[in-house]
């Protein structure tokens, strides 16, 4: 039985569990409206307390030694892996690899594929071999973290780098992907939810198209995992990455998900430490996944904190929070569309949109808009959002982005819209309705 969406009253109850919202910073005596969760989310007290208590009571070198302390620390470390695996629908905990962030996770895949012919001794790695005539496909809407690694891999291997262009709203389609994918496509990397347009890609259908031509799929799930129910196993993606700090968790921790057969065949991007089984002066043999990819000392307390963060989101219910956030985004988008002089990026409505909206204000640079909003106590993201090609395709250098989370209120959305209109009046760019 599905539960009702979160209400405004629920949102205020949840806010009380976040120190940032329980005692928010003030701007001119007014609490700051935090609308920048797409960049980094605030953390509930139980996440902060979990990480702190681990450091105070259980901190030890995981997977190193036989002491009781090491055993306790390792158990908490691996329990967090299991919690994250369950949260994103991984078949086993071993499909979850810890990384420094989503950017690092995507680089683990790209750099690992680049080592496919290096002789690192990973059985089956030749399945990733690239060369002249092969193609790597992305979209023009990608965050730089899911773009630059593939550019560099193409340059290193001699493969051809291709992309699916966006339209006048910054969108691309399933039909465009179908046309771009072919027998030469070896890798197809794309984002689940765009950090600029909020567009939700039809992942399962895209994976089916990629599989039909034998292409490996790599999913940037940074903006989907914190906001909608995600099941990587059901979606069928080969690899996926997301970050902890956008999902109510700590900084400095990210997740790489991989299908077991893919992780088994992927060479490690970094080597050393506990990622090995045997080392001689001539060669090394590597651990099976996930430890193969976790060389060196791990960010243990951050891992434990992320395990608690996904537990917090699970306790709320992802379907409930997604329904609540859809209501907030509807209010946000309708307010933008009703205001002359504002250009909405992405879907021209709420269909296929998740958690955010980016706008351009006619006649104003986004940095001027952001400074005015900041003076009104409205905290948003301005700039190119690490997606310069997308903005360039839309004929702009930057935009102003507001994003929501389970703690966002209707009043904060209204303050953002009022502040945008105030910026138009202040800079005398207001358009008569």
Q: Hey, which residues are catalytic here?
A: 386
Q: Rounded to an integer, what distance in angstroms lies between the CA atom of residue 181 and that of residue 128? A: 17
Q: Which of 171, 199, 192, 175 is nearest to 393 (CA)?
A: 171
Q: Do 126 and 116 meet the contact criterion of CB atoms below 8 Å apart?
A: yes
Q: Rounded to an integer, what distance in angstroms lies between the CA atom of residue 196 and that of residue 325? A: 17
Q: Which of 205, 135, 145 is nearest to 176 (CA)?
A: 205
Helix, strand, coil share (%) of the chain residues, nearest 5: 40, 15, 40
210 burial via Cβ count (<10 Å: 0-12, 13-18, 19+) = buried
Residues in the chain, overall count: 433
Q: Collapsing DSSP states into helix, strand and coil, what is residue 400?
A: strand
Q: Rounded to an integer, what distance in angstroms lies between the CA atom of residue 94 and that of residue 251? A: 22
Return the number of other C-beta atoms located less than 10 Å from residue 254's C-beta: 28
Q: Rounded to an integer, what distance in angstroms lies between the CA atom of residue 224 and that of residue 170? A: 18
């Amino acid at each position: 039985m599905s539960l009702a969406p979160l209400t405004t009253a629920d949102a205020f109850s949840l806010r009380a569990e976040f120190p940032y919202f329980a005692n928010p910073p003030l701007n001119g005596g007014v609490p700051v409206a935090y609308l920048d969760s797409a960049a980094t989310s605030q953390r509930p007290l139980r996440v902060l307390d979990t990480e702190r208590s681990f450091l105070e009571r259980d901190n030890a070198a995981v997977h190193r030694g036989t002491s009781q302390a090491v055993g306790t620390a390792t158990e908490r470390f691996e329990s967090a892996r299991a919690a994250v695996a369950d949260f994103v629908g991984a078949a086993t905990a071993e499909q979850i690899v810890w990384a420094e962030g989503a950017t690092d996770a995507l680089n683990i895949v790209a750099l690992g594929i680049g080592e496919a012919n290096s002789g690192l001794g990973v059985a089956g790695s030749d399945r990733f071999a690239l060369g002249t005539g092969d193609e790597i496909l992305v979209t023009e809407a990608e965050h730089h973290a899911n773009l630059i690694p593939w550019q560099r891999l193409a340059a290193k291997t001699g493969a051809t780098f291709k992309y699916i262009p966006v339209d006048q709203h910054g969108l691309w389609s399933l039909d465009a992907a179908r046309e771009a994918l072919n027998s030469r496509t070896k890798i197809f990397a794309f984002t689940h939810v765009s950090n600029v347009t909020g567009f939700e890609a039809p992942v399962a259908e895209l994976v089916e198209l990629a599989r039909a031509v034998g292409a490996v799929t790599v999913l940037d799930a940074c903006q989907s995992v914190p906001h909608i129910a995600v099941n990587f196993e059901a979606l069928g993606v080969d690899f996926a990455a997301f970050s902890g700090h956008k999902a109510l968790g700590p900084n400095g921790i990210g997740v790489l998900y991989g299908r077991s057969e893919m992780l088994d065949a992927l060479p490690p991007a970094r080597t050393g430490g506990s990622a090995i089984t045997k080392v001689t002066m001539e060669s090394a043999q590597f651990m099976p996944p996930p430890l193969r990819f976790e060389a060196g000392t791990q960010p243990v307390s951050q891992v434990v904190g992320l395990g608690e963060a996904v537990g917090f989101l699970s306790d709320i219910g992802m379907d409930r929070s997604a329904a609540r956030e859809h209501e907030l985004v509807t209010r946000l988008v309708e307010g933008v569309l009703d205001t002359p002089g504002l250009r909405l990026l992405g879907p021209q409505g709420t269909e296929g949109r998740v958690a955010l909206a980016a706008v351009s204000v006619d006649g104003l640079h986004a940095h001027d808009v952001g400074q005015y909003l900041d003076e009104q106590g409205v905290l948003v993201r301005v700039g190119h959002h690490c997606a310069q090609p997308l903005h360039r395709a839309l004929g702009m250098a930057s935009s102003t982005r507001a994003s929501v989370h389970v703690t966002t209120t209707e009043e904060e959305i209204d303050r953002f819209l009022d502040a945008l209109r105030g910026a138009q009046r202040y800079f005398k760019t207001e358009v008569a309705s």
